[in-house]
A and B are shown apart, each in its own frame.
Chain A
Amino acid sequence: MSDQRLTTSEPTFADVNRDVIRTLSSPGNLYFGWMSFVALVLAVGILAWTYQIWVGVGAAGKRTPQMWAMYITTFVFWIGIGHAGTLISAVLYLFRARWRTSIYRGAEAMTVFAVLTAALFPLIHAGRMWFAYWLLPYPNQRSLWPNFRSPLVWDVFAISTYLTISVVFFIVGLFPDVAAMRDAATGRKRKIYAVLALGWEGADDQWRHYRRAYGLLAALATPLVLSVHSVVSWDFAMALVPGWHSTLFAPFFVNGAIFSGFAMVLVLILPMRYYFHLYAYITDRHLDAMAKLLLVTSLVLTYFYICEAFTSWYSGEEFERASLFMRATRQYAWAFWMMYLCNCLVPLVLFWKRARTSVTVLYTVSIFVLIGMWLERFNIIVPGLAFDFYPYTWGTYVPTVTDSAIVVGSFAWFFIFFLAFIRVMPSVSIVEVKETLAHPFKRPRPTR
């Protein structure tokens, strides 16, 4: 079989074009089956949101003090998922980690779609979502401006910047590839790709400015990715709620974000590799590298969990201590202990080298991590608000059909974008993969 050959010898430049363009040929029934299923789930989610807009946010089970509940949990979760994509495309680019090239396109697409998903939640969460534009600074008759001291306004700036820069970075990376698609396509497809490629030809002056711009964008995206989840964490850390008011939150959130993002990358990349036969490009070495990053971020996260518990005990502050005690023992204890299991214990299996290259183990661990990281945000938000300073205001949150359908629908919203993307655009970077391959030399290449 031709795929067998690919796993044994290193592909040439022409092979890369052929193999990547092959992924865009007509998909089978399986693809359309998945697409229909995802569309159905999305439709249920949209219906649930419509219902919520009609009857009000009470439909989402919101009762004081539980006003944040699953929407903000899922919002933080999706923002976190995006982080691994930027880490792979910008930070690893600056560090010249060559293994990133074959997975970065998929990861970057994941970032864009995850942030798009996350950006829905503040709207869904808002009582009168048609006034969401009040968050933006725009000139108005009464010269009312947003309160720039509020972390929620910082969030608006951080997330809209993150979305814009991710999209720009994604498109800039894409268009030399689109030019390659254009030159391989015929007919109507060729015309569409020709427009999207903006007349890219790979001339030396184009590459010169392109490379410089790409490096600068990576250098801008690196501090941005660290800032975005820090800002999200300050939504909590700036409040005085016990269990939230902590200086630990920014690095804790950023690390957790990268951890969950890598799990999502694996969840997306492994099936992609299987269905598109990309074994020549996404090898065991890539899986091993990603598994190691997953392991490292898991260990760092464990350290943060220990710090969090230690500081609340050592602070001697009654409310801090009580908050932790309640989280570990009361009605949300299952989520608390489940989180430790998923985020701290399960990834330890990756210390074993064979586990790091086993598709089954990696996939299972990634699913556990995604569940664990969703629960982590849940554990901060829901039990945090459930046990405030004053027992009179304590309250339990119970999910409703409406908000569960919206949360599940958000996954469908994400996957419908991702599935559409792998169908119309190269999901592996043609140019960057070629850069890491041996270049064609007539004479033996001088060693540098």
Chain B
Amino acid sequence: MSEQLVGVFGHVDTTVDAIERLRASGFGDMTVYTPVPVHEIEDAVERERPLSRVRLFTLIGGLTGTSLGFFLTIWSALKWNLITGGKPVVSIPPFIVIAFELTILLGGLSTVLGMLLLGRIPRLSPSPAFDPRFTRDKFGVAVRCPAGETARVRDILTQTGADEVRP
């Protein structure tokens, strides 16, 4: 059985202290809520995580767009030959424009798709640790720990300067 404790912090440095202390004590399973992305907190939280895979979505989407653009233009030009001035039917320079625009279009859309999928958005119901103050000016550290360890976690959160600790 694991339980969850949430510490509400008013400052960046105290939040970072809490994250570091918790991790040092072996409570690595936590979610940090911030009103804005903060470098110091990101540094502390993301040290052991791989880079976001959103860029993979962008790459795949973009390349799909490029190939779709060239495929559509070349295929349709060959399907209905429109020979003007004896010039090649497959005229690459104008097709680059279409391929470029489709690269950006599909690249952009798949980036957003990636963000939504990886960030698990939309969420239908708020998570129990969330507090409306986290979108205003408070920082939250939600820690999952074994049922017997809540006292230790509560101590760490209080000692590092949490304004409030709640389950």
Contact = CB atoms under 8 A, between A and B. Distances in A.
Interface of A: 12-14, 17, 137, 143-149, 153-154, 157-158, 160-161, 164-165, 168-169, 172, 176, 179-180, 182-184, 198-213, 216-217, 220-221, 223-224, 227, 231, 431, 434-435, 439-443, 445
Interface string B1-24: 000000000111110000000000
B60 interface: no
Contact of A137 (B52, B76, B82, B123): B76
What 8 A-B pairs are tightest by C-beta distance, nearest first? A199-B123, A183-B132, A13-B137, A145-B76, A213-B115, A198-B122, A212-B52, A157-B101
**Centre residue among B45, B125, B127, B135 by max chain A CB count within 10 A:** B135
B46 interface: yes
Given A165-B105, A231-B97, A149 B121 contact: no
Nearest to A166: B108
A168 B108 contact: yes
A216 B55 contact: yes
Contacts, number: 197
Contacts of B58: 216, 220
A199 B37 CA distance: 17
Nearest to A179: B135
Given A148-B94, A199-B121, A202-B35, A17 B111 contact: no
B135 A176 contact: yes
A213 B31 contact: no
Contact of B95 (A148, A179, A441): A148
A434 B12 CA distance: 13
> Per DSSP, are chain B's interface residues mostly helix, strand or loop, or mixed?
helix
B91 interface: yes
Given A13-B35, A203-B32, A209 B124 contact: no
Interface string B99-143: 011101101110110111011111111110010111111000000
Interface residues of B, number: 68
27 contacts: A17-B136, A145-B79, A145-B80, A147-B82, A148-B94, A149-B91, A153-B98, A154-B94, A157-B101, A164-B109, A165-B104, A198-B116, A199-B125, A199-B126, A201-B126, A203-B130, A205-B118, A207-B37, A208-B119, A210-B37, A212-B51, A213-B54, A213-B112, A216-B55, A224-B101, A227-B104, A440-B11
B73 interface: yes
A28 B45 CA distance: 46
Contact of B136 (A13, A144, A211): A13
A213 B114 contact: yes
Most buried by A among B13, B62, B77, B101: B101
A183 B82 contact: no
Contacts of B76: 137, 143, 145-146, 148
A161 B111 contact: no
A201 B120 CA distance: 11
Interface of B: 10-14, 31-38, 41-42, 45-46, 49, 51-52, 54-55, 58, 62, 72-73, 76-77, 79-80, 82, 84, 91, 94-95, 97-98, 100-102, 104-105, 107-109, 111-112, 114-116, 118-127, 130, 132-137, 161
Contacts of A158: 97, 101
B50 to A, nearest CB: 10
A144 B127 CA distance: 52
Contacts of B116: 198
Contacts of B38: 439
B136 A161 contact: no
Contact of A220 (B12, B95, B107, B124): B107
Nearest to B82: A147
B115 A209 contact: yes
B101 A201 contact: no
Nearest to B87: A149
Nearest to B75: A145
B52 A209 contact: yes
B49 A443 contact: no
Given A184-B136, A216-B58, A227 B115 contact: no
A209 B49 CA distance: 12
B132 to A, nearest CB: 4
B104 A224 contact: yes
A17 to B, nearest CB: 5
Contact of A168 (B51, B62, B112, B135): B112
Nearest to B121: A198
A161 B105 contact: yes
B98 A204 contact: no
Contacts of B137: 12-14, 17, 440
